[in-house]
Structure 1
Amino acid sequence: MDYMDSGMRYTPKSDKDWDTSVQFLPASDTKKLEKKKGPGKIGAVIGVVIFAAVVALMTGLLVWHFHFRKDVRVKQMYSGSMRITNQVFEDAYEDSSSVEFKALAKQVTSQLKAIYSKTPQLAKYYVGSTVQAFSEGSVIAYYLSEFSVPKGQEAAVNSAISSMDKLVDKNQRSGNSPGNSLVFDDVVSSALDSRLLKKTFSEFYRYTEHTKSDHIGTITSPGFPNKPYPSNTVVQWQLRADPGYVIKLDFDTFNLEENCKNDFVKIYDSLVAIESRVMEEICGYYSPSDPLTFLSSRNVMLVTLVTNEKKNFPGLRAHVSQVRRGGKGTTCGGQLTGKKGNFTSPNYPNYYPPNIFCEWKIEVPADKVVKVTFKKFLLSEPGQENSATCKKDYVEINGKRLCGEKPDGTVTETSSTNKISVLFYADASYVDRGFTAEFVAIDSKDPCPKQFQCNNQRCISSNLKCDGWNDCGDMSDEMNCKCKSTDINCKNGLCKPMFWQCDGVNDCGDNSDELNCGCKSGELGCQNGKCVSEKKRCDGRDDCGDGSDELNCARVSDVTCSDVTYKCKNNKCISKVNPECDGTADCEDGSDEANCECGRNLFKTSRIVGGQEAEEGEFPWQVSLHVKGYGHVCGASIISPRWLVTAAHCVQDDGKTRYSQPGTWEAYMGLHIQRQNGKNVAKRNVKQVISHPYYNAYTFDNDIALMELDSPVTYSDYIRPICVPSPQHVFPPGNSVWITGWGATREGGYAAPVLQKAQVRIINSTVCDRLMGGQITSRMMCAGVLSGGIDACQGDSGGPLSSPSSGGHTFLAGVVSWGDGCARRNKPGIYSTVTKFRGWIKEKTGV
């Protein structure tokens, strides 16, 4: 169904500018073509050829004119709103079938037609308009206008429509309007999202909901929760609140296709889809623990769901209520006094409303100055991702405008007196989560007592200066340093931790940490450490000796199987590196894309997290292993409904406890907070414990074990397996991976109640072995933190080292094994390399 089928229909008018005067040539007099004395046969042939060419040309022109030219018109739809200042809103205007609605709508469309007719770029292409709704204030009309525009003229029409406010003003100032004409102001108009105009739509639904103070309404996608939403459908919900209130929209379920180019929801601060009033476009799957909550700026809101022909998902459910304007979440600013305090953008940590302006006036004791630190700063929207001018949403402090997304705690401003003002402005389109900030009174002469003051005025511990980590956020703590013998001495003067050397990442900024890393310029580094000429790559010969110079070559046939090539189920090998579950079937039998229902975090991850706490469902393969009657001891990973992978050192007997016995353990899947076993948590006893037969308790070599559950676990949004990599899977140095667990958050500290996460980077094994005094075996891998002070610790043992792939799946790169203390900046964590045990895992579990 066409988008306009929901309103009045219009037939395009004939275009007076089209040329209708072309006539066919009259028939020629055949007698004049009879053979005469003169040029002879050659002349006749030439004449016939010329005549045929002329006829063909004219025929082509006429075919083009009457057939093709009429097809080069495109349908252009524009949405808009305007305030009618000389009318008062009546309740009947809310009902589009009422006599009052129809009468006012007729007046609006009549005046729109008059306005368009006086604009040359619009008059000849105009088809018609429909009024979609009215709302309070005095009366606001929401409309759609259709134009039939010749191909190539779209830009001119778009330009004219973008100046609709000026066209309306000019028309009203002309003085030619009848005395009973409507008076318009606050005119907004823009092109309709082209995705709402697809001819393939089969269904169009429109619903209305008017909230009340003592009522919470519910909107759901068609079929929810019993079946997925339908294909090729547009659904619109027009939401209204009472005068003096705003709409609160709170999704408790949101599960759409991941790509917004396919299925999406758009929320508008309007009753029609005006792009300059869109608040947010969302798709994907959001956790109920991370709700999506929006507030309108007025008493109206439009929610639009658009689906295409493929992959229908469960859909959405949202609660609709009204909040009094001036109530919680709708206001901000004010006077703040005292030695310290906190303030946030309105509705934080949910989305702030559009069209808002706030000012906080902060005053501290007279002998102090004010320091403001933004702990979270999320003011991103399309058009100002990298903007230096901040013309859309912004915070203004000390005469500086700030926008975009900033690292936690890195935005700090200090006043020159005991007073400072903080301004927050949000325009009419696109909203974000906002910010949370704190202010504190400090001594202007000593702003960072016993600490180092960064150039951005942030205060950090003095022992963090010149340690190779960008603790300030602006690198000022790493300038003018003298490097220690244990650091990389970059040529540009920076000092960097030694374990970033030779990992393929330019940490110094001048690439000096990647020099002298084995092979010379023009040489290729083989996986076995050998160097060969770059020219020998993909030449069909095994120059490395391990076949790694022939990996990722365009040639895919007749690949010789080796320790570094991926073997398909049909026993043929391919040269592509890491082909598993990347979305492309590289094996002839498609086996590289089999068993790929793993390693998927179904929820979209919010940017609002407390410290390093993971979100519920973010790592659904994480397991908490409890000793019965005691509590959490180790972590593990789900690899199938029955099997877990953990560390061998977790299941070694000691004098008091027989950890090797399955009866000692119980496994918790889907757990987020220790001792809170809600509906998302599954508990199982353990049927069997299999420790690797060659585990060495002194060196931690072969530190891996398997656990079989006494009954299979059912997968859910919160319980899913991680992908087990093939033996040939490569996890190169420099790659970012995640460690997770409930272990101690600091060395010697207590276990964390909430699942923690930390992003770390895989470290070059040669460098790591040197740093760790030669203790690293070929079955171990090293990973270190990307920002200091975070690492795996006691209680994280056995948990996963999770490696996200480009195909959207996460692979089990390692198992938390051992380390030198916890969170020591130049001491990486050591993990058992899962690829080295792939055959053993398959033998014991069948996975």
Structure 2
Amino acid sequence: MTLREGANHILEEHQFQGSPSFQTSALLSRCCSGYTETPRGGGGDSFYLDKLVAAGANRSFAGDCCHCMRDMNNLDEGVEFLPAMNSKKMEKRGPRRQVVVTVLIIVFLLVSLTTGLLFWHFKYRNTPVQKVFNGHLRVLNWEFLDAYENSSSPEFSMLAKKVKSTVEEIYKNHADIGPYHKETVITAFSEGSVIAYYWSEFLVPKYREESLDRAMADKQSLVQRWNPRLRNPMLKVESVIAFPVDPSIAHSARDNSCMFSLHAKEGEVTSFTTPGFPNSPYPNNALCYWALRADASSSISLTFKTLELEPCRDDSDYIKVYDSLSPVEPHALVRLCGNYAPSYNLTFLSSQNVMLVTLVTNKEGRFPGFKAEFFQLPKMKACGETLKGESGTFTTPYYPAHYPPDMDCVWNIEVPSIKNVKVRFNMFFVLEPGIPVSSCTKDYVQINGTRYCGERSQFVVASTTNKIELRFHSDQSYTDTGFSAEFLSYDSSDPCPGKFTCNTGRCIDRSMRCDGWLDCVDGSDERSCTCTEQQFKCQNGWCKPRFWVCDNVNDCGDNSDELQCSCSADSFKCNNGKCVPSTQKCDGKDDCEDGSDEGSCSTGQTTVPCKEYTYKCRSGHCISKQNPECDGEQDCEDHSDEDNCNCGLRSYVRKSRIVGGQNSDVGEWPWQVSLHVKGQGHICGASLVSANWLVSAAHCFLPLQGIRYSDPSLWTAYLGLTDQGDRSGPNVQTRKIKSIISHPFFNDYTYDYDIAVLELQSPVTFTAVVQPICLPDATHNFPVGKDLWVTGWGATAEGGTGASILQKAEIRLINQTVCNQLLTDQLTPRMMCVGILTGGVDACQGDSGGPLVSVEPSSRMFLAGVVSWGDGCAQRNKPGVYSRLTSLRDWIQEHTGL
């Protein structure tokens, strides 16, 4: 036993016995080391004993220590006693243990690190990623057979096997592609000589994914390598092109239950629909393909006649049309979702003799789907031409259908040498998703070195000579409806004879110069103007009619016409322009006299004292929220504000792309009613407000020329009608009138209280094109300046004949005070003034009784007014006058229960 081991033994023994006076091992260390030295003065054990007791050990322990020293002195020779002062030898065993522990810790850390790295490598860096590519290739030394159109034919299987082997051989020769290739499937063939369409699946480690993507995108990677041992290879291929796609699309292609192949027949139109159309909705969680083909020398014209899918959102059902038989994004012509009116132009052209239609659906919704038709037509051999003369017109190919992809057209236009030439675009739709109009990198029109694209209103491009060149380019992807244009010759010294010339080249009437309205797109007609006494000069220099000042509408654009009307900092400005102290806002009193200081104090279910301007719930409680009815939020405690809200929505909500025209789409205004008198045709309009009731104008039923128009038996109501020439169409419902109730206070001289309700003999059936409009609450606020829509079949010009197609116009609610100035105090509280003061847009004869509707933020539409009267039609500063529904709402409810 070494000295230290002996010391430790004694320490353990006395610690176990609980020796109270020995607290540290340091004392024992001194006992068995420092006090083992022989005292120079002698003394033996008593010397050590005394020393230990003096150092703090009890006498029993000191005795054991001294006894220990004797035992150590009696050890055999050869045992080396470590000198107490030789610290290096004393600590020889300690560092050995530390080294072992340190080594073990390092080994543990290395093992952990290695394990982590391996886990990361196999779990993340080396995780196989599934990649799918769609593509096509051209086989040069093979002739196309009709049997290749049938994927079940032996000929298809034979050629597919050969092409598959060829593709696999191409992949195999590339280090970044071959090792990861899992499967290739040939999906279709088309002519030229033979074009094969396929998809390939890869499993690639995540860290190699980018290398695979680069290799597949590089056409030089997908080049056939010739085997020198084969003098005549089986297939000679070129144009191997591949694009990454969503793997779910490729895998769904293996399910043939919703795959169709159709070939156009010469001189015939071929129709196809979604499965079950129109009797049942298309399937959920489905991917459907329609491969469309035409003869080799033809292209395809595809038109969707009916299209009703799930409303558009990021994950909604959608249709994509491809200028290919492979669903690859660079050849996508269009993506469609939601619904379109049947009159909306959805015709698409292919650049070759094939086209692919795909339908991708999610797990939700039940919608009818589509009905489409296609036919073949000769491929366009030339695009563009030389145009000469004083004037003429031209359009993009197949306009107003979508122009084909991959087009380049050039028009060289020349007018007589003494004239200059300009091109006026009356309609211009060259829009591609995601492409800013400032770059025009894909589809565009180029004139004089400048590119034009996007969706533009009418504009003019002029040349300083008698010649101009116009180029039109479309790439292989998304297409649009293109343009309709005309070229004109003009005298450079007088480009617009008798008219004002805008800086854009557009000509407008001289009366429009400096009248306060921007008739030129660039506003050049309102620059450098000298304001008259009847005009107000804005801070930006524009001149505006003086009666527009302080009408709560920012007419100047910089609000300078309203700044002088602002209330002080401690005041509130009412909607009618009146200023009231801020302390009176939301105090329960109508200090503004129009309710605007109380109408928007809070939202939600806050109950306030009932006033004329507060909305009253069915429970009798009133809430302060403005226009709460049918806004999608439950504001009344009894939820009555959201009752009876099956109104004001239309199935077809697509914006009509008609510039300069006012034709409505089928179903765009499903509450519009045409009232006919036998032998006279359309007389007045009306609005459907429920299955049994219509709202119209009282003046429509005044006796005239001996005819008692108040007799219900004279009238027939047509609902779901758009074209007056198609009154027997499948969408149209016809109803006789049971009763006509005109307001008892109607004044046939002033047209005050110009309102009537009509009860139908039998209720109508609500459909996609027949729906009721919402009736506003008496407290509903339609603010000044709000855009409203008026519709009808009335005359398109003063003194003209009625329109065949339902017309629409967007007009603006005008301040009542301003309107009274214009119409010499002819307005009453039951009237509202709406129009465009520049003229040109208005209701007219034959529109009487028709709807004036407002689109609310909830997208629900409310009946704001009824067409009543006007001073002429569409004259400047002569707006139309409409019966104000909110002022007549209680009377309507009294007689209809609505």
For the 8 Å contact 1:80–1:143, the answer to whether it is kept is yes
Q: Confirm or deny: 8 A CA contact 2:798 2:873 kept in the other structure.
A: yes
State the partner residue of 1:84. Answer: 139
CA contact (8 A) 2:632 2:858 kept: yes
AA of the residue aligned to 2:402: Y
**In the alignment, is the contact (CA less than 8 A) between 2:424 and 2:486 conserved in 1?**
yes
Are residues 1:397 and 2:447 paired? yes
Name the stretch that deviates more: 87-96 or 299-308: 87-96
Alignment correspondent of 1:287: 341
Measure the CA separation in 2 of the matches of 1:380 and 1:635. Answer: 37
1:779 Cα offset (Å): 2.7
Residue of structure 1 equivalent to 2:698: 648
Matches within 5 A, 1:126-165: 126-148=181-203, 158=213, 160-161=215-216, 163-165=217-219
Q: Note the C-alpha offset of 1:137.
A: 1.6
CA distance in structure 2 between the aligned counterparts of 1:152 and 1:691, rounded to whole angstroms: 79
Matched, 1:244 2:297: yes
Residue 807, structure 1, aligned to residue 858, structure 2: yes
1:255 alignment counterpart: 308
Partner of 2:58: none
Q: Indicate yes or no: 2:770 matched with 1:719.
A: yes
Q: How far off is 1:506 after superposition?
A: 4.2
Paired residue type of 2:719: M
2:427 corresponds to which residue?
376
Partner of 1:766: 817
> Are the aligned partners of 1:344 and 1:437 in contact in 2 as well (CA < 8 Å)?
yes
Cα deviations across residues 393-443 of structure 1 (Å, max 9, x unaligned)? 111223322111111xx3222333333222211110111111111123333
The aligned runs of 1:444-593 (5 Å cut-off) are 444-496=492-544, 506-520=554-568, 524-526=572-574, 531=579, 546=595, 548-549=597-598, 551=600, 553=602, 556-558=605-607, 561-587=610-636, 589-593=638-642
Distance 1:218 1:511, change over 3 A: same
Say if 1:439 and 1:841 are closer, same or farther in 2 by CA, change over 3 A: same
The Cα of 1:636 is off from its aligned counterpart by 1.4
Instruction: Please state how far the C-alpha of 1:122 moved relative to its aligned partner.
Output: 5.2
Give CA deviations for 1:34-63 in whole Å, capped at 9, x if unaligned.
xx9999xxx9xx99xx99x98998999599
- Please state whether the residue corresponding to 1:689 is helix, strand or coil: strand
Does residue 668 (structure 1) correspond to residue 722 (structure 2)? The answer is no
The 3-state SS of whatever aligns with 2:258 is: strand
Shift of 1:520: 4.3
Shift of 1:569: 4.0
Structure 1 residue 266, shift from structure 2 partner: 0.7
Equivalent position amino acid for 1:321 in 2: F
Give the match's secondary structure for 2:222: helix
Most deviating of 72-81 and 218-227: 72-81
TM value normalised by structure 1: 0.84
Alignment partner, residue 234 of structure 1 = 287
2: CA distance, partners of 1:812 / 1:355? 47
% same residue: 49
Matched, 1:213 2:266: yes
Cα offset for 1:274?
0.6
Instruction: Give 3-state SS (helix, strand or coil) of 2:739's partner.
Output: strand
CA-based RMSD of the aligned residues comes to 3.9
Q: Is the 1:647–1:705 contact (alpha carbons within 8 Å) kept by the matching residues of 2?
A: yes
Q: Are the structure 2 counterparts of residues 347 and 521 from structure 1 closer, same or farther at C-alpha, using a change threshold of 3 Å?
A: farther
> Does structure 2 retain, via aligned residues, the 8 Å contact 1:204–1:234?
no
CA contact under 8 A between 1:77 and 1:146: conserved in structure 2? yes
Of 836, 846, 854, the residue aligned with 1:795 is 846
- Counterparts of 2:181 and 2:624, CA distance in 1: 59
> How many angstroms apart in 1 are the aligned matches of 2:711 and 2:499?
51
**2-structure distance, mates of 1:64, 1:534:** 68
> Which residue matches 1:350?
401
Aligned to 2:375: 321
Evaluate the alpha carbon distance shift between residue 76 and residue 596 of structure 1 in structure 2; reply closer, same or farther with a 3 A threshold. farther
- Report the CA distance between 1:98 and its aligned residue: 4.2
Q: 1:501·1:764 contact (CA, 8 Å) conserved in 2?
A: no
Q: Which residue of 1 aligns with 2:832?
A: 781
What does residue 753 of structure 1 align with? 804
1:21 corresponds to: none
The offset of 1:99, in angstroms, is 4.6
Amino acid at match of 2:780: H
Shift of 1:239: 1.0
> 1:836 and 2:880 equivalent?
no
> Could you say if the C-alpha distance between residues 590 and 460 of structure 1 is closer, same or farther in structure 2, counting changes exceeding 3 Å?
same
Q: Deviations over 1:471-490 (max 9, x none)?
A: 22221112111234444432
Question: Residue in 1 aligned with 2:665?
Answer: 615
Q: Distance in 1 between matches of 2:588 and 2:180?
A: 63
Q: State TM-score, norm by structure 2.
A: 0.80
Match of 1:688 among 722, 739, 749: 739
Q: Is the Cα contact below 8 Å between 1:467 and 1:478 reproduced in 2?
A: yes
Q: Which amino acid aligns with 1:88?
A: E
Partner of 1:659: 709
Which residue number in structure 2 is paired with residue 639 of structure 1? 689
CA distance in 2, matches of 1:367, 1:159: 58
Q: State the AA in 1 paired with 2:829.
A: S
1:701 and 2:755 equivalent?
no
Question: Which segment is superposed worse, 741-750 or 517-526?
Answer: 517-526
How far is the alpha carbon of 1:758 from its aligned partner?
Answer: 1.1
Could you tell me how far 1:532 is from its partner in structure 2?
A: 6.0
Query: SS where residue 78 of structure 1 aligns?
Result: strand
Cα separation, partners in 2 of 1:727 and 1:281, compared to 1, 3 Å: same
1:732-762 deviations in Å (ceiling 9; x for gaps): 2222111112223233333333322111112
Q: 1:126 to 1:495 in 2, by over 3 A?
A: farther
- Which structure has the bigger radius of gyration? 2
Contact 1:203 1:233 in 2 (8 A): no
Mapped to 2, the partners of 1:146 and 1:175 lie a distance apart of 29
Aligned residue in 2 for 1:7: none
| Aligned-partner Cα distance in 1 for 2:180–2:610 | 66
| Alpha-carbon distance change, 640 to 60 in structure 1, aligned in 2, over 3 angstroms | farther
Q: Deviations 1:764-820 (Å, cap 9, x if unpaired)? A: 333333443343333322222286411112322221111122323221111112223
Corresponding position: 1:597 with 2:646: yes
- How many residues of Structure 1 are paired with residues of Structure 2 in the alignment? 796
TM-superposition CA deviations, 1:699-733 (whole Å, max 9, x none): 33322111112222333333322111222322222
User: Residue 830 and residue 507 in structure 1: after superposition, are their counterparts in 2 closer, same or farther (change >3 A)?
Assistant: same
Q: Is the CA contact 2:572–2:597 (under 8 Å) kept in the aligned structure 1?
A: no
Decide whether the 8 Å contact of 1:79 with 1:192 is kept in 2: yes
Aligned CA distance change for structure 1 residues 703 and 331 (closer, same or farther; 3 Å)? farther
Aligned residues of 1:745 and 1:793 also touching (Cα < 8 A): yes
User: Which secondary structure does the structure 2 equivalent of 1:644 belong to?
Assistant: strand
SS of the equivalent of 1:477 reads helix
Cα distance per residue 1:662-707 (max 9 Å; x no partner) = 2343333233344542323333332222122233334333221111
Q: Which runs of 5+ in 2 are unaligned?
A: 1-15, 17-24, 26-92
CA contact (8 A) 2:693 2:896 kept: yes
In structure 2, C-alpha distance between the alignment counterparts of 1:175 and 1:559, rounded to whole Å: 93
- The code of the aligned residue for 1:735 comes to K
Contact persistence 1:203–1:234 (CA under 8 A): no
How far, CA to CA, are the matches of 2:812 and 2:497 in structure 1? 34
Counterpart of 1:33 in structure 2 is none
Structure-1 separation of matches of 2:570 and 2:288: 58
- 1:167 and 1:151 map into 2 onto residues whose CA distance is 20
CA distance in 2, matches of 1:528, 1:256: 45
Partner residue, 1:272: 326
Deviations 1:169-227 (A, max 9, x none): 5x759999997275544444333257847999999611111222143322110111221
Residues 547-587 of structure 1: per-residue CA shift (max 9 Å, x gap): 85573735545455544444444545555433333344445
Provide the residue aligned with 1:96 in structure 2: 151
